[in-house]
A and B are shown apart, each in its own frame.
Chain A
Amino acid sequence: MKAFDYHQAVDSEQAVAQAVRVSGAEDMAKYLGGGTNLVDLMRETVERPDALIDVTALSHAIDETPEGGLLIGAATTNAELAGDIRVRTRYPMLSRAILTGASAQIRNMATVGGNLLQRTRCAYFYDMATHCNKREPGAGCDAHEGFHRYHAILGTSSSCMATHPSDMAVALAALEARIHLRGPDGDRQLPLTELHREPGERPDIETELRPQELIVAIELPRLPMAARSGYRKVRDRASYAFALVSVASMVALDGGTIQDVRLALGGVGTKPWRAYRAEEALRGQPATEATLVTAVDAELAAAKTLPDNAFKVELARRTMIAELSRRIADARSGGDA
């Protein structure tokens, strides 16, 4: 690992100011949350920042918003967020998503802001001896004809098919979370679903963040139907493995009709994948198996597969249908949320 400077910020203004001062023209400062991914990347020399600005002392608060949602300080640890009773009762899919990720030790370190900005676990991205368009645009992609069993089938491009690894972000995509940002040019907000980019020709540019912009908070809107939401993660072992497919879902019924639905996928997308096409095909339709099949197939019609990850289409299909069926059954037995 290359030697670097270390700064500790006490608040977000100071953090941004430090980043601006260190970075100069080049973006050579990195914000450090729990370091559970960034430090690994530095060890592999994939990331070589000149300076780290430690933002773990920033807000850990989880506050009620006037609209009835929650505002979560970006330095909140994954463990704190998953354990919050309001999250567990009002947004259970978020708690479950977090708890299916990583290990207890990692969740104790990892921050919510850092979780969103973690990078893909594609083996070729981590190995400097191989070709990777995400590390070096135009260098080529060794995963294409190499090991790509974990890779994405949605949102891919010919340059990159690396999966976004976060579980938490999948739940946040379904929950319509908003990201609060602070940068040298002031504050702004983005829907979580617009934070991450599809790779296109520039897989190295992963988010819409501007230079030195810092995630300061995540806002969860009021969403009563989320009280009966769920998250199912399918993986190669029972714990401590990235998703092959994960499904975050919630359904509100009006009699036998799907009144509203939120559906997002992990393990299959180059970004946390909100299944808009499936949602559109479900809303206002009868809550039947046929509806689910049509909707799920609509979402997966765009899937592009390679030999080792082709199974994900069927796996995602089955898991989505099973999860939506369970949500519908729950909604039926529990009445309106």
Chain B
Amino acid sequence: MSALDKRRSGDNQPSGVALAGDYWRPDGRPDPLSEKGRIGIGAPLSRVDGVEKVTGGARFAGEFTFEGMVYAALVYSTIANGRILTIDRQEAESMNGVVRVMTHENAPRLNLPPVFLMSPNGAAGDDHPIMQNDRVHWNGQPVALVLAETQEQADAAAERIHVDYQAEPAMTDFELAKTQARQPDNVLGGPAEITIGDADKAFEMAAHRVDAIYRTPRHNHNAIEPHALTLAWVKEDGSEKESERDGETLRIHDASQCVDLAVASLAEVFGIDAARIHITSPFVGGGFGGKTLWQHQILAAAAAKLVGRPVRLALSRKGVYRVVGGRTCTEQRVALGADADGRLKALIHSGVVAMTRHNNLPEPFFQATKCLYAADHIRLSIDVADMHMLANTFMRAPGESVGTFALESALDELAEQLGMDPLELRARNEPEQDPTNGLAFSSRHLLEAARAGAERFGWAKRPIQPGSQREDEWQIGMGCATATYPYMRMPGAAARITLTGEGATVDIAAHEMGMGTATVQTQIAAARLGLPVERIQFRYGDSKLAGRVLAGGSQQTAAIGGAVIAAHRALVIELLALLGENSPLAGLTPDDVECRDGGLCSSVDASRFETYEQILARAGRRELSVETDAADSAELANWSMHSFGTIFCEVGVSDVTAEIRVRRLLGSFDCGRILNAKTAASQFRGGMIMGLGLALMEETLFDPRSGRVMNPSLADYHVPVQMDVPEIDVMWTDIPDPHTPMGAHGIGEIGITGVGAAVANAVYNACGKRVRELPVTLDKLL
């Protein structure tokens, strides 16, 4: 018996990988990689880029250099609405090392930036003209850019630029703005209001009712790497001569989670062919939705054009707060009406969020509510209050992170009223199919996840009566909440696979921002091609590579997976076409073969096998390269596709100071097949830690008089420090979704969802105080 045969017959573990079929169809076959026991899938492989990162070898966007590079510093407006009357740049331009000061008076002419969710090429946060006129639209808008030979010279000169403004009335007070709220055209492309039955009437008639307002504050992006880029307009031959600017390529090292989309947007802004723009972003120090296209990249490119020299622009932490949008504030009403058994008769989740007239992201707080609970009557709606502020944007689980705070707090209040275990209340309202669109769930094992989590956490020991358990001055309480985030696979993904005798390279314009993408996709490619991980090179973070893949919406893993599945099929078809008549594989069709042991093999006869090296050599080929688009994401039309989980939290609340200490935190998730136990655990934990920040401390202080952010620093804007974070336990069902690539769901965002409510519910259980306004700080408990 050959070694191959032994492996085949030894146990039931599959080893060869057949081509994935039509997983997106109702009658389709699941991706073979989703099967249990796939070698390498799920293994806790350490990060392939880990050593480079911890030894300082990894180069980030602000660390690249170009010869003759100058450094940029920005001057930010100090009014929220109005006009620039004068900008005195004379003193600055006379200072040592200063090359040029760019303002609206001398900036190159630029087209309006296409905006996310408003234009197919939109990567920009808003559609304001960028330094093209004297208008100021938010407090903190860049009004001048200084270029100097050193960063210090640029910074010093920026302080000496004097701007006179004519301020005009500005809407900077949310309390005022919300009195003029409007219904937006759409919310993430869907309706801004969803009505099933008559929720208001059903609510009035319900035996048990909870009706409360929940508030969440603004949040700012605080990736460990502040936004930075280094760029040059380069001639194709590498020269940077000013006179030959026309034939130039804009070469950008950026910190980006959307290289290809950013290219498309910049091409529109500068009115040039997208082929003339090249963005690379090999390492990104965290994205979370903020590393898209903001004014700083466009201004840096314009300034480089103005002076004919390469430019580096690295935002200070404060600069990130001034030019990169964050999560907007919300005021949400949740009204739940239930019968005596806890079955929901009415579910109302409505409210208002701050936005601008120049972007289109109404913080979609009702997203989770759309799919979580069965209710006879449902009404969901979001209104927007237009303000003079920096455009808000995506921030880890936009919608679900703050929406679950409101919804899951309200469920806890209802459970209390009913005298019911909050988990039992949720279980009783587990829907048969998606409650708002009627589709079947592709994969939903929330109750299993909740039960397993409850058991490991010791939920049964939770104090029923608030304030009934204590240790010294600490009142102990437990809380739980449901976590959820949708599965997505956006159109546009494509992949190139290049096979040589040594191994394979997978190229795709995707991103590694610390999530583990490079590692996981290396594992997947290795498993799919039947190669060891050492022989796989996964290349990403380069706009010249195949496809358009956004590192957002927790969709990258599926998007890349879908593209690689398509490219895998194309590769095998090409390989089979290369076979001569002498090949043991001759005559087989793509669906008759599997990839294993570095080659192709008949799926029914292990003796019919040839290595890739042999196939290529016989055909006289050194390599074989295919590039293919992913199949359309038809699965999303067939099913309601979501990840689920339950967050459990134990807190202590001091009865002296009302300080809150999170003592234990557990997340039990149902996210399809887990592809790498190590990087997945990190993603879940990272999201949950961010959830602790959301629950307990994160808050942008937006001064309602001036529209100015008053805490633009990590000293004043609190995120959890090591001592705030307890041991975090994570677990998962590992049940594959039969209708997704690898059976997997994205896991980058679900970790933050539910945490706000789990903490607030635990605080209530500890001390009997219900806090409906985040963050839960001690003054709200005194």
Q: Which residues of A contact B (CB under 8 A)?
A: 1-3, 45, 121, 123-124, 127, 129-130, 142, 145-147, 149, 234-241, 244-245, 311, 314-315, 318-319, 322
Contact = CB atoms under 8 A, between A and B. Distances in A.
A319 B657 contact: yes
Contacts of B777: 236
B710 A318 contact: no
B535 interface: no
Given A238-B724, A311-B782, A123 B656 contact: no
Interface of chain A: mostly helix, strand, loop or mixed: loop
Contacts of B710: 123-124, 127, 130, 146-147
Contacts of A234: 657, 659, 778
Most buried by A among B658, B659, B722: B659
A136 B156 CA distance: 22
Contacts of B724: 237-239
Given A237-B697, A238-B723, A315 B779 contact: yes
A127 B201 CA distance: 51
B708 A236 contact: no
Nearest to B96: A3
A45 B318 CA distance: 14
B774 to A, nearest CB: 13
Interface of B: 78, 152, 155-156, 159, 473, 656-659, 661, 696-697, 701, 703, 705-706, 708, 710-711, 715-716, 718, 720-724, 777-779, 782
Contacts of A121: 715-716
Contacts of A318: 656-657
A192 B206 CA distance: 65
Contact of B716 (A123, A235, A244): A123
Contacts of A1: 152, 155-156, 159
A145 B704 CA distance: 10
The 9 closest A-B pairs by CB, nearest first: A238-B723, A129-B78, A311-B779, A123-B710, A239-B723, A322-B656, A234-B657, A239-B721, A238-B724
A322 B473 contact: yes
B235 to A, nearest CB: 36
A1 B157 CA distance: 9
Most buried by A among B473, B657, B708, B720: B657
A240 B721 CA distance: 8
Nearest to B779: A311
A145 B705 CA distance: 9
A235 B720 CA distance: 13
A124 B706 CA distance: 12
Given A238-B661, A314-B782, A147 B718 contact: no
Contacts of B152: 1
Given A121-B716, A145-B705, A146-B705, A238 B721 contact: yes
Given A3-B156, A121-B715, A315 B778 contact: yes
B220 to A, nearest CB: 14
Contacts of B696: 236-237
Contacts of B722: 239
A45 B705 CA distance: 23
Nearest to B696: A237
27 contacts: A1-B159, A45-B159, A123-B710, A123-B716, A124-B710, A130-B706, A130-B708, A142-B703, A145-B705, A146-B705, A147-B701, A147-B703, A149-B779, A234-B778, A236-B718, A236-B777, A237-B721, A237-B723, A237-B724, A240-B715, A241-B718, A244-B779, A315-B658, A315-B778, A322-B473, A322-B656, A322-B657
A236 B697 contact: yes
A235 B778 CA distance: 9
Contacts of B703: 142, 146-147
Nearest to A242: B715
A237 B718 contact: yes
Contacts of A237: 696-697, 718, 720-721, 723-724
Contacts of A3: 156
A313 to B, nearest CB: 10
Nearest to B659: A234
Contacts of A236: 696-697, 718, 777-778
Given A239-B722, A319-B656, A322-B473, 15 more contacts: A1-B152, A3-B156, A45-B159, A121-B716, A130-B706, A130-B708, A142-B705, A145-B705, A146-B710, A236-B697, A236-B777, A239-B721, A239-B723, A240-B721, A244-B779
B782 A127 contact: no
Contacts of A142: 703, 705
Contacts of B473: 322
A237 B662 CA distance: 11
A142 B159 CA distance: 22
Contacts of B656: 318-319, 322
A245 B654 CA distance: 14
A319 B657 CA distance: 6
A286 to B, nearest CB: 22
Nearest to A103: B721
Contacts of B661: 238
A140 B718 CA distance: 27
A278 B523 CA distance: 67
Nearest to A245: B657
Contacts of B701: 123, 147
Given A123-B710, A130-B708, A315 B782 contact: yes
B708 A129 contact: yes
Nearest to B139: A129
B728 to A, nearest CB: 15
Nearest to B780: A311
Nearest to B777: A236
A52 B541 CA distance: 45
A142 B696 CA distance: 26
Contacts of A241: 718
A145 B696 CA distance: 24
Most buried by A among B156, B696, B708, B723: B708
Nearest to A129: B78
A234 B655 CA distance: 13
Contacts of A2: 156, 159
Nearest to A235: B659
Contact of B778 (A146, A238, A244): A244
A123 B782 contact: no
A229 B723 CA distance: 24
A322 B724 CA distance: 23
Nearest to B703: A146
Contacts of B720: 237
A146 B656 CA distance: 28
A121 B78 CA distance: 20
Contacts of A322: 473, 656-657
A211 B696 CA distance: 44
A56 to B, nearest CB: 22
B610 to A, nearest CB: 59
A241 B778 CA distance: 14
A2 B153 CA distance: 9
Contacts of A146: 703, 705, 710
B313 to A, nearest CB: 18
Most buried by B among A124, A145, A236: A236
Contacts of B705: 142, 145-146
Contacts of A314: 782
Nearest to B76: A129
Most buried by B among A146, A234, A238: A238
A62 to B, nearest CB: 28
Contacts of B706: 129-130
Contacts of A319: 656-657
Nearest to A3: B156
A123 B155 CA distance: 21
Nearest to A45: B159
Contacts of A45: 159
A123 B711 CA distance: 7
Contacts of B155: 1
Contacts of A240: 715, 721
Nearest to B775: A236
A123 B321 CA distance: 14
